[in-house]
Amino acid sequence: MNRNIGTEEAIKRWDSFADTYSANHTEQGDLHKEVFLNPTLLTLMETVRNKKVLDAGCGEGYLSRMLARSEATVTAVDYSSRMIEIAKGRTPNDLLIDYRQGNCEDLNSLEDKSFDLIVSNMVIQDLADYEKAFQEMYRLLVDGGCFIFSILHPCFVTPESGWEKTKGGKKSHWNVDKYFYEGVYEQRLGDKEKMLFFHRTLTSYINTLIKTGFILESIIEPKPSKEMLEKYPSFEEDFRCADFIVFKLKK
């Protein structure tokens, strides 16, 4: 695939996919967010009451609404104009969320040191210039503020990865290939839609965060809890390898 394809093409595809994507989201997000990401993010965030929080890449806004209901002062940005429209439409009038269209690679409409906490949930892999995005998050945080973000696990979700199955269709093991390739690739998410992801190694992520100035506080590879397995038994297979990784950093 052409390595020169960048964020602008990703924005076009997310605008087109926004309605289909949002249809699968409840007030807990989609199933993977409910099972894996929400429990991890909420634990890492601790209390958000009276904090100024940026939801960096808010999508249809479920996490922004959760934060606002927890008495945070929430600003939410997304580079897809259609996602912002959907988020506004799903937000009750009593939740005062400041929704803005904006690319996390360049949020110049927001002032330096504006936020106590920034959360970016499954967004950084959708950006071509992740270094610039990290610099923006650092700029926007107050001193001592926290940046928490989740992504597809770069060690296991690679440009060529997926289940190896037996002739009978049973899942044998998870294949990983092209881990050291860094750049854009296509991934089918809907029935027809192919979205763009930007793959980097774990080394690149961590070294770039350190170079930006962040202090790494925690890394979590989420697993389904006992309670979630009772509710959704099919997620038992997710003990075989990690789908996601979540970072907590401090400025």
pLDDT in tens, 216-241: 999 999 999 999 999 999 888 889 89
For residue 1, pLDDT over 80 is answered with no
Mean pLDDT over residues 39-58, rounded? Answer: 97
Q: Please report, as a single letter, which amino acid is at residue 140.
A: L
Quick one: CA dihedral 134, 138, 141, 145, positive or negative? positive
pLDDT of residue 3: 64
Q: Which residues contact 101 (CB under 8 A, 6 or more apart)?
A: 77, 78, 79, 80, 81, 84
Of 135, 160, 127, the residue nearest 14 (C-alpha): 127
Mean pLDDT over residues 43-63, rounded? Answer: 97
Please write the tens of the pLDDT for every residue from 22-36.
999 999 999 999 999
Please write the tens of the pLDDT for every residue from 64-92.
999 999 999 999 999 999 999 999 999 99
For residue 2, pLDDT over 60 is answered with no
Mean pLDDT over residues 118-145, rounded? Answer: 98
246 within 8 A of 220, measured Cβ to Cβ: yes
Structure tokens at 111: 């002032």
Of 251, 31, 249, the residue nearest 120 (C-alpha): 249
The CA distance from 25 to 111, in Å, is 31
Q: Convert 198-220 into a string of H (helix), E (strand) and C (coil).
A: EECCHHHHHHHHHHHCCEEEEEE
